[in-house]
A and B are shown apart, each in its own frame.
Chain A
Amino acid sequence: MTKIAFPLDALARMHELAASHADESCAVGFVQPASPSGLFGQRRYVVQALEPVPHEAYQRRTPERVSLTSEFILAVSNRARAAGAGIALLHTHPGANGLDGFSPVDDAGEMPLADYFGGRLREQAHFAGVVTHSNLHLRELGCGPSVIPMGVGPTVHIYGVQPSIAHSDLRYDRQVRAFGQAGQARLRDVRVAIVGAGGTGSFIAHELAHLGIGHLLLIDHDTVDTSNLNRLLGTTPADVGLPKVAVAQRAVLAINPQMQCEVVASDVVDVTVAARLLGADFIFGCTDSMASRAVINQIAYQYLIPAIDMGVAIHVREGRIASVTGRVQMLSPGLGCLVCADGLDGQQVRWELMSAAQRRADPYFENASIPQPAVMPLNGVVTSAAVAMFLSALTGYPGDARLLHYDGVRSAIRPQLLAPRPGCIVCSGEGALARGDAWGLPVRMGPGHG
């Protein structure tokens, strides 16, 4: 079924208007397709710049019906054409007892708008929605089929999903007691991607398999090395030389044979591999590559696919451990991104995106392949914090922080606030936010890298 993702704060404003304003209120947003290859048979769209309609654009506004001026409709149509976007037209059903769904008045009013936008913006997809104080119904404009709306922000709200977990399944009994049938159903339905199947990625994969995640995509271009065996959860000496994703896949299927687990033994910074991520609903960034981080960071905001990025580091100076640190950061609309956090090294991204030939030709390329210290418990602390954050975003499990710092020397995990920078090239409306396929990703275009 088609999914359509909105920045959560824009939807929250509409719920608030439905609760607080006696008359119906409208909002208009711009729709971009968000999955070029229709992965998993899903179609996805993202909605950009969803704003309540200004006061003067209402022709008529009562508690039961609303209409907009033709000048406003024309201006919206022109803006959409310039952006190559479709239209999302939402209106509220006000009050605690507002009709929870489309009314016959809505059906009648929608057809002329469908003709109008369908005629003027023929190539684009258009949607109509009804917002109550707590719910959202969405369908293709012109009384078309329903689509699944999602609000994506510090939490992920999926509207209208029916929990359907077999009560006889004792396997998740203790979790259902914590986050309910609905929470467990969400874990089963969500499509999760893990980028990097190394020290942190292997932990995340194991925990997700135990939690009952139904769909997992693992991406890593690397193979298991003898020096990885100290920290790749689930590996044995016999795995040396195998792709890391194959080892992780074997482990998660042993834990949870019901899981659908796909693997890609390739680098996520390649354009075709990055495209695979667009079928996911949630991404874990378990990579120490700066270029991969730049790709995941942009996908999170451009495609409204939330991600949790993590990093671990042990610094040894003069033979002594000077610091043991971890960072877990959720990337999603309303939260500051990795650019806002000064978390991307521009020189490193440039080198990582070069082809092998380009690196050889670059007289300043520094091969940063000196092995860094790595121990399993640090990865365990950081990844468990990341999975708990994921549960908090998806199921209502507690834990509001979306940026955590672990200081292993002081044995402390501290939450931190990171405000998005106004005008940020990634996480703001002037940047990549909800651009979908209309923008490109910071990927390596051609084949033949190394």
Chain B
Amino acid sequence: MGPTDLHVERLRAREPELQLRSLPDGSQLISIPTVALPTGWNKPSTAVHLITPQGYPFAQPDCFWADPDLRLSSGALPQNAALTTPIPHLPGQAALWFSWHLQVWNAARDDLLTWLTVIRQRLARPV
């Protein structure tokens, strides 16, 4: 047990479908199977994968992953996204990497809901 577990349970209360995987370095991979997308994408929803790093929440989360076939409706790759950076420790699992960062993070105030909100805000803009 620890802060990560508390925050994961808080997120699970909002996202009951979430799946959790412990990675070898002690970080946790959280996958939310269905996140709805607005028009402007090539599909109505995607999975989202995010990581609580070692030392979370004092260490802040960074970057996230989505379905490997997620594209803009034009067929183009979204900005700041690439297929070249796999989910850590899972090189075989294809996923679309979003280079996306938190502007502010404070372990006293922020949790995985904060991070998911930032991710949703990115996905709300199909660019």
Residues in A391-450 with C-beta less than 8 Å from chain B: 421, 424-426, 430-432, 435, 438-446
Given A346-B107, A349-B60, A440-B2, do A355 and B25 touch, yes or no (CB 8 Å)? yes
Categorize the interface residue count of chain B: 20 to 34
Instruction: Give the residue of B1, B24, B55, B108 whose beta carbon is less than 8 angstroms from that of A294.
Output: B55
Given A291-B59, A442-B59, A444-B54, do A344 and B107 touch, yes or no (CB 8 Å)? yes
Instruction: Decide if A40 is an interface residue (CB 8 Å cutoff).
Output: no
Residues in A313-344 with C-beta less than 8 Å from chain B: 339-340, 342, 344
* Residues in A neighbouring B102, C-beta threshold 8 A: 346
Provide the A349-360 mask, 1 if CB < 8 A to any CB of B, else 0. 110011100100
The CA of A339 and the CA of B105, in the complex, are separated in Å by 11
Given A346-B59, A442-B55, do A425 and B25 touch, yes or no (CB 8 Å)? no
| B54 A353 Cβ-Cβ under 8 A | yes
Instruction: Decide if A97 is an interface residue (CB 8 Å cutoff).
Output: no
| B99 A446 Cβ-Cβ under 8 A | no
Quote the shortest CB–CB distance from A379 to chain B (angstroms). Answer: 25
Categorize the interface residue count of chain A: 35 or more
| B3 A432 Cβ-Cβ under 8 A | yes
* Residues in A neighbouring B88, C-beta threshold 8 A: 358
Instruction: Decide if B120 is an interface residue (CB 8 Å cutoff).
Output: no
Instruction: Decide if B101 is an interface residue (CB 8 Å cutoff).
Output: yes
Instruction: Decide if A54 is an interface residue (CB 8 Å cutoff).
Output: no
Instruction: Decide if B127 is an interface residue (CB 8 Å cutoff).
Output: no
| A438 B58 Cβ-Cβ under 8 A | no
The CA of A426 and the CA of B3, in the complex, are separated in Å by 8
* Residues in B neighbouring A439, C-beta threshold 8 A: 1-3
* Residues in B neighbouring A373, C-beta threshold 8 A: none
Instruction: Decide if A363 is an interface residue (CB 8 Å cutoff).
Output: yes
Which DSSP category, helix, strand, loop or mixed, fits chain A's interface?
loop
Quote the shortest CB–CB distance from B20 to chain A (angstroms). Answer: 15
Quote the shortest CB–CB distance from A112 to chain B (angstroms). Answer: 32
Quote the shortest CB–CB distance from A362 to chain B (angstroms). Answer: 8
Residues in A264-315 with C-beta less than 8 Å from chain B: 269, 290-291, 294, 297
* Residues in A neighbouring B106, C-beta threshold 8 A: 339, 342, 346
| B108 A442 Cβ-Cβ under 8 A | no
* Residues in B neighbouring A363, C-beta threshold 8 A: 99
* Residues in A neighbouring B60, C-beta threshold 8 A: 346-347, 349-350
| B59 A350 Cβ-Cβ under 8 A | yes
Q: Find the B residue at minimum CB distance from A269.
A: B55
The CA of A430 and the CA of B2, in the complex, are separated in Å by 11
| B58 A346 Cβ-Cβ under 8 A | yes
Instruction: Give the residue of B24, B54, B105 whose beta carbon is less than 8 angstroms from that of A346.
Output: B105
Quote the shortest CB–CB distance from B95 to chain A (angstroms). Answer: 15
Quote the shortest CB–CB distance from B110 to chain A (angstroms). Answer: 8
Residues in B48-80 with C-beta less than 8 Å from chain A: 53-60, 62
| A445 B3 Cβ-Cβ under 8 A | no
| A445 B2 Cβ-Cβ under 8 A | no
Instruction: Give the residue of A344, A438, A445 whose beta carbon is less than 8 angstroms from that of B25.
Output: A445
Instruction: Decide if B83 is an interface residue (CB 8 Å cutoff).
Output: no
Q: Find the B residue at minimum CB distance from A298.
A: B58
* Residues in B neighbouring A424, C-beta threshold 8 A: 108
Q: Find the A residue at minimum CB distance from B109.
A: A421
The CA of A299 and the CA of B108, in the complex, are separated in Å by 17
Instruction: Give the residue of A297, A425, A443 whose beta carbon is less than 8 angstroms from that of B54.
Output: A443
Q: Find the A residue at minimum CB distance from B7.
A: A425
Quote the shortest CB–CB distance from B106 to chain A (angstroms). Answer: 6
Instruction: Decide if B36 is an interface residue (CB 8 Å cutoff).
Output: no
Given A291-B59, A294-B55, A350-B55, do A425 and B1 touch, yes or no (CB 8 Å)? no
Beyond the given A439-B3, A442-B3, A444-B55, could you list 13 further A-B residue pairs with CB under 8 A, ordered by the A residue number?
A294-B59, A342-B106, A346-B58, A347-B105, A349-B55, A430-B6, A442-B54, A442-B58, A443-B26, A444-B54, A445-B25, A445-B54, A446-B25
Chain A positions near chain B (C-beta within 8 angstroms): 269, 290-291, 294, 297, 339-340, 342, 344, 346-347, 349-350, 353-355, 358, 363-364, 421, 424-426, 430-432, 435, 438-446
